Structure 1
Amino acid sequence: MPLARTIDVTRRYGDRTALDGVSLDIPAGGVVGLLGPNGAGKSTLINLLVGLRKPTSGAVELFGGDPRDPASRRRIGVTPQETGLPATLRVSECVAFVAAHFADPVPAGALLEDFGLAEVARRQTGGLSGGQKRRLAVALAFVGRPELVFLDEPTTGLDVQARRDLWTYIKDYGRTGTVVLTSHYLEEIEALADRVVVIGGGRVLADDTVESIRGMVGIHRVSLDTITLPELPGVVGVEEAAGRTSLLTPDPDQLVRDLVAMNVPFRGLQVQPTTLEEAFLTLTTAKTGS
């Protein structure tokens, strides 16, 4: 049985449909990445799975039962997209307050050390930087040693090093627990996720590994150094960066043959599969008509 699931779930807000017939299983173990543009339904899906919202139709299960059951909620950790922390509480007091709800919480000192917050343990949360507040919000999701963690845009506002440190923590946690995260940082999903669910227009557009999603799109990047570039058949996109030209094409072999046949001077030829970003944009554009 999956840890969490939605079965043909629809959620409407007035005349707007946020989710439209979504069925999704979250099995135990690993990191599941939810990708989608703003308004795709990612946050709504998480809110349903953790019991903060009810579906308009369909069913939602958490550990085989109602997501609003307190016993089930004690087995999860959540960092919502926006988190309000009591400004007058010290960092250590916030951790102690959350820890009091669990039988075997992570020791506060170890948790704050893991998230780079040990030096500000006695500081009031109102005096923290935006990045420190975000790290604390994410740390609180792990206090109770949850079986399943939901992180909605966890690294928003973090600097590069803090983001990389959090990546390491999430990846390690996914080896023994289960993490579901949303992100606008496509490289983040690519670095962390064992499974990627692409959501667009309130529907699941793709659900597979990073490699498989790239394969669904079937576009490759052919990069080269060239001075002249004629119009070439089969090219769906052209990019210029750092003095190099990149051609996006579903048939890189034919493109290279065309370059040779048309006597196009080039050097430094490289052929690579699409990045997750290119796959994501192609999927959301093609299947939502945007």
Structure 2
Amino acid sequence: MPISSDVVARLDGVEKRYNGVTALDGVNLLLQRGELLAVLGPNGAGKSTSIGLLLGLMRPDRGQVELFGLDPQRIDARRRIGVMLQTAMLPPTLRVGELLRLVASYYPQPRPLEESAALAGIGDLLNRPYGKLSGGQQRRVQFALALCGRPELVFLDEPTVGMDIDARRKLWNAMRTLVAEGCSVVLTSHYLEEAEALAQRVIVMAKGRVLSEGSVDALRAQVPLTRIRCATDLDPAAVSAWPQVTSVEREGARLLINTSEPENVLRRLLDADAGLGALEVQRAGLAEAFTELTREEGEQQEAA
């Protein structure tokens, strides 16, 4: 069956093993043009292997990998992507502006230097040696290097690690700008609120397989949990033993309760504590959905 021209990257039935250990087990993945896809999973889930295959850094043992309908190792495919990995070995003595000009020179139609610097928020760093920057500043420079070639697809692997809240928010806005321009983005992040705020689609992986895939709302709907937060003196261990209570945490004077039956638990809370206060009830977020999906996978593996 022909692949749509809107598909910019694809894994089809991909398997990959390292020394007998399965890193990917029949993974399918499609990335559409202008889409921000978040790939989530615990360490060892297969996220980095999937990205490495799409970047052409390795070959699959079985299955197909395509980038713009081409072999990912083809130079005409690679010139259409930008990459920001978790680690980057860049010449420490080069100034930031020099690094941007150097990387931009590898692309046929790069962004103007000032535009790249403005998008990444590094206009004040252009004359600074890269090696003299803080860790968060270096990450912002690496982001600028990923987008300076005006790529059609950007891979961002844990892009906001080491950044303060303000810098992280600015980078989020820059990602939204890229997507608005029609650029596709593949994001891996341990900050689940980052994926929840940005992603149009989310893939959850564990142990080399795709557990779930869909919009943030669709993934949340798969896990029928509700979060109840309230100020109470009730013992967390006692509340955790109630039927339909999934987990309980103490946060100072408050309890944070996850439950699949919020009405029953709320009724019991009110009966048990007449002084209950600061009551909040909200549907579980992506973090709870992610935790539940990966926990269920672990339990199924152990049962097998």
Query: Do they fold alike, i.e. is TM over 0.5?
Result: yes
Q: Look up the match of 1:29.
A: 34
Identity of aligned residues (%): 45
Q: Encode CA deviations 1:14-47: one digit per residue, 9 max, x unaligned.
A: 1222111100111112211111111211111111
SS in 2 for 1:174: helix
**Cα RMSD, aligned residues only:** 1.6
Q: How far, CA to CA, are the matches of 1:133 and 1:181 in structure 2?
A: 18
Partner of 1:203: 209
- Paired residues in the alignment total 289
Contact 1:220 1:249 in 2 (8 A): yes
Work out the CA distance in 1 between the residues paired with 2:176 and 2:120. Answer: 14
What's the TM-score once normalised by structure 2's chain length? 0.90
Deviations 1:159-188 (A, max 9, x none): 111111101100221122211110011111
**How far did residue 263 of structure 1 move?**
4.6
Aligned match of 1:159: 164
- The counterpart of 1:17, out of the listed 19, 22, 25, is 22
Which residue of the other structure, out of 38, 48, 62, is the alignment partner of 1:43?
48
Cα deviation for residue 83 of structure 1 reads 0.8
Distance across 1 between alignment mates of 2:113 and 2:215: 35
AA partner of residue 214 (structure 2): D
Among residues 225, 228, 233, which one is paired with 2:234 in the alignment? 228
Tell me, yes or no, if structure 1 residue 71 matches structure 2 residue 76: yes
1:126 is aligned, of 127, 131, 135, to: 131
In the alignment, is residue 278 of structure 1 matched against residue 288 of structure 2?
Answer: yes
Which blocks of at least 5 consecutive residues in structure 1 are unaligned?
none
Alpha-carbon offset, residue 221 of structure 1: 0.8
Structure 1 window deviating more from structure 2 (265-274 vs 170-179): it is 265-274
Q: Is the 2:233–2:253 contact (alpha carbons within 8 Å) kept by the matching residues of 1?
A: no
Q: Which residue of 2 aligns with 1:185?
A: 191
1:236 aligned counterpart, secondary structure: strand
TM-score by length of 1: 0.94
Q: Indicate if the aligned counterparts of 1:28 and 1:177 stay in contact, CA closer than 8 A.
A: yes
Q: Tell me how far apart the structure 2 counterparts of residues 206 and 43 of structure 1 sit (CA, whole Å).
A: 17
Question: What is aligned with 1:62?
Answer: 67
